[in-house]
Structure 1
Amino acid sequence: MKATAHAAAVAGGPAIQPVSALARAARAVDRAVTHAVEFMAACALVAEVVILGWSTTARYVFGDPLAWSDELATMVFLWLAMLGSVIALRRGEHMRLTAFVRGLSPEARGWLDAIGMTLVSFVLIALIPASIDRFHEVNDGLSPVLQINEGYRSAATIAGCVLMLVTALTSLLRVANLRQVAGAVVLVAVALAVLLRFAEVIEDLGNANLLIFFVGFVAFSIVIGMPIAFAFLVGTVGFIAFATSIPTSIVPSRMEEGMSHLILLAVPLFILLGAFIELAGLARTMIAFLVSLIGHFRGGLQYVLLGAMYLVSGISGAKAADMAAIAPTLFPEMVKRGNREGDLTSLLSASAVMSETIPPSIVLITVGSVTGVSIAALFTGGLMPAVVGMIALSAVVFRQTRSEDVSQAPRFSWKERGRLFLIAIPGLGLPIVIRSAVVEGVATATEVSTIGIIYTVVIGVLVYRQFDWRRVYPILVETASLSGAILLVVGAATAMAWALTQSGFSRQLVELMSIVPGGKIGFLLISALAFIILGSVLEGVPAIVLFGPLLFPIAIAMGVHPVHYAIVAVFAMGFGLFTPPFGVGFYLACAIGRVSPDVAIKSVWPHLAALLVALLLITLIPWISIGFL
C-alpha cells in the first residue's frame, strides 16, 4: 500500500528558483537522472513481463521450459526493486507512519523531517561501502545456468544506495531550512560518536542491546515519520556495526536475498495488472452490471461496493488502488440516496479489510515467500474468510439502510441486465482466469500475473477499445515506484529478521509463545491481537516478513495449520491497518472518499465491530480457512 507522500510535509511552500547558472545546471542534471532512472525501471518492468510471459508460453504451450528464465528474471528483478526504491524516495512514496507527526506545527515537522532524512542519509552512507564489499565477495562467481558474473546482480544494490543517497540529500535541503539541517546533522553525529565510544560496553550487554537498536532506534525512527524501510535499516545496521563483530556486508547480502525472491516478482506484476484493469475499463463494466442487479434495493449500492471489492481486490497490490477504482463510481449516487458520507467512507475502509485475504493478495504471496506455505493453498484458503467478512459487513449495511429512499433509483429490465452482463463478462472472467490458472497448476503465482496483463491489454484494445497507450509509460513508472517501496521494506525486514535470529531472540520468542495459557486457542488469540497491533504500525508486508519466520514454526509446532494461521495473521493485520487512530489505511479511505477523518471516525465502529466478530470466527473455526484445501 502507498504511504503518505513525504513531499506533503512541505506542500504549499515557496518554490525554489534557480539563482545562478550552477543552480540551473544542478537542476538539469537532477531532472536528467530522474528521467534516466524512471526509464530504466520501466524497461526492467517490461522485461520481466516478457521473460515470464515467454517462459509460461514455452513451458505450457510448447512443452519446452526455459531453464534460464528464472535466473534472468531474479537478476532483472533486483535492479527493478532498487531503481523503484530510488523513484519512491524521490516521490516521497515509501511507507511511513504519520499518526504521531500529523498534527504538529510546520516548524516541528521541519525539525523531525530533517532528523529523519539525515538518518536516511547516514544509513545509506554506511550501506554503500558494505554493498561494495558484498560486490567484491560475489564478483568472481558465475550464475548456475546463464554463467553471468554475479557482480552484475549485486551492483544493483550499490547503484540503488548511491542514487538514494543523492535523492536523500536533495530532499533534506528541500524539507528543512539550513538551521534545521545543521542541527539534525550535529544531533546524529553526536549519537554516532556516543555509540562508537561505548561500542564495547554495548556489545557486552548481550540481548539487552536489542532494546537499544530494535526497540529504541527503530521505534524512534518510525514515530518521527521516517520511512519504515529505513527505520528497520537504522536498527539493523546499528546493531551489526556497534553490537556485533559481524561485517556490515551481511546487511546488503540479506537485503538482496529478501528482495529478489522469485515469488515476490508477483508484486510489481500484479500492481501493473491492477492499473491496466482500470485503464482498460474492466472495473467499470463489472460495477455497472452489479448496479443493474441490486442497485435499486435498500443498501443496494453498498452491497455493490462490497461485491466489487471482492472481485477486484488484491489484483492491484495496493488497497488505495482498489478503493480508488470503486468509490468514485458509487459514492455520488449513494449520497443522493441520503447516505451519510462518514458511513460510506467507513464501509469503504472496512471492505478493504474484508478483502485482505482474497487472492491474488500481495500479502498472501509474501507469506508464501517467507514461510514456504503453498501459494495455491493460501489462495484457496483466503476466499471463504473474505465471504465471512462480507456477510458481517452486509449485516451492518442492512441495519443502516432500513430507511434509505430508493424511490428514484433506476430499475433495469432483464434485457438491459443481460446486455450489461455480456459487456462485463471479460471483466468478470479475469479473477476466475487468474485464480484457476494458479490452482490448476497452469502457471505459478508469479507467472499468472503476465497472463492477466496480456488478457487485460487484449480486452482493452480489441473489446472495450479504450486502452490509452499514452498512459502506459506513467503507469510503468508508478508501478516501479510502489513496488520499490514495498520491496525495500521486504529487504530491510529480511535483514532485520536475520539479525534478530542471530541474536537468539527467535528462540526466546518460541519459548515465550509456547507457554501462552489456553494452548492452541490461546496462542491463536494472542497472535491475532499481536498482528492487529503490528498491522496498525507496520502494515502487512513488513510485519509478515519480520515476524512470519519467527511465529509460523511455533504455530506448526502447536498443531495449527499453516494456512489457517496465515489467514488469521493477514486478516488481523488488515484490521489493524484500517483501524484509527494509527491505521494509515483508514486515512487513505478518507482521502479517497474526500471525507474528513474527524467525520468518518464517528461512523467506523459498527463496521469494525462486525469485522472483529468475523476475525474471531475465522480464528476459532479452522474450517473457514482450510475446509476447501
Structure 2
Amino acid sequence: MTTNEVLVLDGELLHEGASSGSPLMRPVEFVAAILLVVMIGLLLLGVTSRYALHLPIVWIDEAASFCFLWFAMLGSAIAIDRNEHLRLTLFLRMVPDRLTGYVTALALVLVATFLGAMLMPSLDYVMEEWAVTSAALNLPMSFRASALPFGIVLMLVLVIANLFRTSSLNQIVQAVLTVAVVGSALWLLSPVLEQLGNINIAIFLCGFAALFLVLGVPITFCFGLAALSFLVFTTWVPLIVMVGRVDEGMSGIILLSVPIFVLLGCVLDATGMGKAIVDLLSTMFGHVRAGMSWVLLGSLFLVSGISGSKVSDMATVAPALFPEMKRRGHKPKEMIALLATGAAMADTVPPSIVLIVLGSAAGVSIAALFTSGFAIAMVLLLALAILAWVKARHENMDGAMKASWPMAGKAALVAAPALVLPFLIRSLVGGGVATATEVSTIAVLYAMVIGAVLYGGISLKTLYRMLVETAALSGSILIILGTASAMAWSLTQTGFAFQLSTMIAGLPGGWVTYMIVSILIFMLLGCVLEGLPAIVLLAPIMFPIAKAVGINDVHYAMVVVVAMNIGLMAPPIGIGFYIACKIGNVSPDEAMGAIWPYLAAMVIGLLVIAFVPALSTILL
C-alpha cells in the first residue's frame, strides 16, 4: 500500500500518510465543519422541541436539507484535495512502469471530463429550481441546488491542479487526446449504438464502469462516467435529468445520519469509550480457553453497535487485544482473519451505516433493519465463536488469571456509560421514539458529554480536526450514492429490470433459486465495489424482484448485507481484508491462507440466515 493510497470500507476511511489538505482549502474545511455543527444543532433543536416542549418546528428538516447538500459537496471537494476518494488500485500495480504516468493522467482527465460535462446541466438545474420554493421556509430551492455547480467547479479546479502537479505535459496531452478520440468515435457511432438496445447496458453501464475501475478512476466517477456516456451516446435524455438523480441520491433526509454516525465513531475513538468496553470483556472472558478470541468478537459486536464504523471498530479492538493474544500463542495471521470476519459479522449491529443507506435506497424501515440486525449478528457471532474455540485447543494459558471481583467491578463501572449507547440507539429507533437521524444526534451529544465528564474529554483542536475528517469521509460516501443512483436510474429506464424480473420468475426453484443467485451477485460485488455503491446500484432492481417471489424485505436485506461483507473480506480483492491487515501490521500474503476457514464459517451462517427467514423476522 502506498503512502497516499486510500481504502474506504462502508463509508469508513483508513488512510496512511494522506495529505491534511492544501492551505487554500482551509476556508472550505472551516465552512464544512460549521455546516456539520449547524445540522447537529438543528436536529437536536427539533428533537428537544418536539419531545420536551411538545412543539414541532416544521422548518427544521428543510433547513437541515439546505445545509446537507452544501456539506456533501464541500466534503467531496475536501476528499479530492486529500486524495481520499475510494478507488481500486489492485490493477494499477500490474501496469508497466513506463505506462503508470499515462494511466494516472488518463484517470484524472476522465474525472475532469465528467465534472466538466456536468457543469452546465447543474447550472440549468439551479435555474429550474428557482421556480420551486420550499414549503416551510418559502425560499427558492436554487439556494440549495447551487451547491451542485459550486462543488463541481471546486472539484474540477482541484482535479486539474492535481493533474498538472502529478503528470508531465506529454502525459497530459496523450490522455486528453485519448479521451477526445474515443469520445468523438462514440459520438459518430451514436446512431448505430441507439439501435443496439440492451446491449448498450453491457457496453456502457457494465463494460465502461469496469474499465474505469481498472484504470484507477475513483468509484464515484466510474459510476458517473458510465451513466453519462450511456445517456449521451445512446439516448436523447437531457443531462439535467442526471443531475436531478445525483441530487436525489446523495441528499435524502435519512442520509443525514451518515456523517453524524461517522462523527460519533471519531468521538468514541478520541475519548476511549470503545476501549473501556474491550477492557470489560477482557476481565470477563480473558482467563478461559478461546477467551481472548471471544473478547475480540464480543468487542467488535458491542463497539460496532456504538460507532457504526468497521475501521473504527478494528482500530479500537486490535491494539488492545493483539499483544495478549500473541502471548497465548495465537498466530498473527489467525488474529487478522478473526478481526476481519468479526468486523464483517458486526456490520448488521445498529447503528450500521450500511443499513441506513440500504433502508433509504430500498424503502425498507430503518427501525425494522436495526431490530433484525441484532439477531442476524448473533447467528454469525455464534458461528465464528465456535470456530475460534476449535482453533484454540493449543492455546497457551500459562499466566492467564481470572480477574478479581474488585477489578471486574471497576472495569464494569468504567465501561457502563459506553455500554448504554448501543442499547439507547436500538431502543429509540426500534421503539419508534425517534428516527435514525435524530438518534444519531442524541448519541453524539451523549458521547460528547459523557466523554467530557468521565473519559477526559476532547480538545477543541481535536474536535475541529474530527469535524473536517467527517466532512471529507461523508462527502466521499454521499457523492458515490449520488452517481450510483444516476447509474441505477439509467439502468431501470431501459426496462432491463422488468426483463430480469420476468426471466428470474421463470427459473425453477422459486425464491430459493433467487436467494442463491442474489448471494453470489452481492458477494462478487462486495469484492469489487464495496458495500454502499453496490447497494444503491442494485437495490432498486433486486428488492422488487425479491418481493415478487415472496421474500420479506428485511430478510432479504440481511442476506444482502452479510453476503456483501463476506465478499468485502475475501482476498485477493476484498478491500476490508487489506484494511484489517494494515491495522494488525500483518502481510496480506501471510494472512490470506488463514482467513478461508473463517469465511467458510461466515458462509455457513449466511446460508442459515438465508434459508431460515424467521431469524430475520422473529423480533419484528
Do both proteins adopt the same fold according to a TM-score greater than 0.5, normalized to the shorter chain?
Answer: yes
Equivalent position amino acid for 2:532 in 1: V
Match of 1:89 in 2: 80
- AA aligned to 2:6 is A
Aligned 1:203-602 pairs, distance under 5 A: 203-313=194-304, 315-602=306-593
Q: 1 CA distance for matches of 2:114 and 2:570?
A: 31
Preserved contact between residue 4 and residue 95 of structure 1 (Cα < 8 Å): no
1:32 to partner: Cα distance: 4.6
Paired residues in the alignment total 611
Identity in percent:
45
Q: TM-score, normalised by structure 2?
A: 0.95
SS of structure 2 residue aligned to 1:554: helix
Q: CA deviation at 1:411?
A: 3.1
Alignment-derived partner of residue 163 in structure 1: 154
In the TM superposition, what is the alpha-carbon distance from 1:105 to its structure 2 partner?
A: 4.7
Letter of the 1:494 partner, please give it.
S
| AA matched with 1:249 | I
Secondary structure, counterpart of 1:443 in structure 2: coil
For residues 409 and 176 of structure 1, do their structure 2 counterparts lie closer, same or farther at Cα, with a shift above 3 Å needed? farther
Q: Which of the numbers 160, 165, 175 marks the counterpart of 1:184?
A: 175
Q: 1:420 to 1:317 in 2, by over 3 A?
A: closer
Q: C-alpha separation between the residues in 1 aligned to 2:56 and 2:450?
A: 27
Whole-angstrom CA distance in 1 between matches of 2:488 and 2:385: 39
Q: Which runs of 5+ in 1 are unaligned?
A: 16-29
- Which amino acid counterpart does residue 144 of structure 1 have in structure 2? A
Alignment pair present for 1:150 and 2:141: yes
2:601 and 2:69 map into 1 onto residues whose CA distance is 41
**Residue matched to 2:597:** 606
The 2-side partners of 1:105 and 1:241 are apart by 33
Shift of 1:314: 5.5
Native 8 Å contact 2:308 2:350 kept in 1: no
User: One-letter code of the match for 1:5?
Assistant: V
CA–CA distance in 1 between the matches of 2:490 and 2:305? 31
- CA gap 1:316/1:4 in 2 versus in 1, 3 angstroms: farther
Cross-structure match for 1:617: 608
1:69 to 50, 57, 60: 60
Please identify, of 501-510 and 422-431, the stretch whose mean Cα deviation from structure 2 is larger: 501-510
**Partners of 1:107 and 1:405 in 2: CA distance:** 51
CA distance in 2, matches of 1:158, 1:282: 40
For residue 201 of structure 1, what is the amino acid of its counterpart? V
Q: Aligned partners of 1:98 and 1:622: how far apart in 2? A: 38
Structure 2 residue 30 is the aligned partner of structure 1 residue 39: yes
Specify the SS of the correspondent of 2:236: coil
Once residues 83 and 345 of structure 2 are traced to their aligned partners in structure 1, the CA distance between those partners, rounded to angstroms, is 28
Provide the residue aligned with 1:19 in structure 2.
Answer: none
Q: Which amino acid letter does the alignment assign opposite residue 407 of structure 1?
A: D
Letter of the 1:206 counterpart:
G
Aligned to 2:135, what secondary structure does the other structure show? Answer: coil
Out of 48, 56, 61, which is 2:47 matched to? 56
SS of corresponding position for 1:102? helix
Output one character per residue of 1:347-398: Cα deviation in whole Å (capped at 9) or x when no partner: 1110111112111111111111011111100101111111111111111211
C-alpha RMSD of matched pairs (Å): 2.0
Q: How far is 1:204 from its partner?
A: 2.3
Is the CA contact (8 Å cut-off) linking 2:337 and 2:595 kept in structure 1?
Answer: yes
Deviation at 1:294, TM superposition (A): 0.8
Contact 2:22 2:81 survives alignment (8 Å): no
Q: 1:120 to 1:315 in 2, by over 3 A?
A: farther
Q: SS at the partner of 2:393? A: coil
Aligned equivalents of 1:41 and 1:106: distance in 2? Answer: 38
Shift of 1:326: 1.2
d(CA) in 2 for partners of 1:608, 1:338: 22
Q: Distance in 1 between matches of 2:223 and 2:214?
A: 12
Task: For residue 318 of structure 1, report the CA deviation from its aligned partner.
Answer: 3.4
Q: Which one-letter code corresponds to 2:583 in the other structure? A: I
- 8 A contact 2:5–2:16 mirrored in 1: no
Gaps (5+ residues) in structure 2? 9-14
Q: Deviations over 1:585-627 (max 9, x none)?
A: 1111111111110001011111011001001000010011111
> Contact conserved, 2:7 with 2:575, CA < 8 A, in 1?
no
Deviation for aligned residue 1:466: 3.6
Q: Deviations over 1:315-348 (max 9, x none)?
A: 4343222211111111122112221111111111
- TM-superposed CA distance for 1:12, in Å, is 10
Q: Which amino acid aligns with 1:565?
A: Y
1:5 aligns to 2:26 (yes or no): no
Deviations 1:254-310 (A, max 9, x none): 111111101111110100011111112211111111111111222222111100110
- Which residue number in structure 2 is paired with residue 98 of structure 1? 89
AA matched with 1:528: I
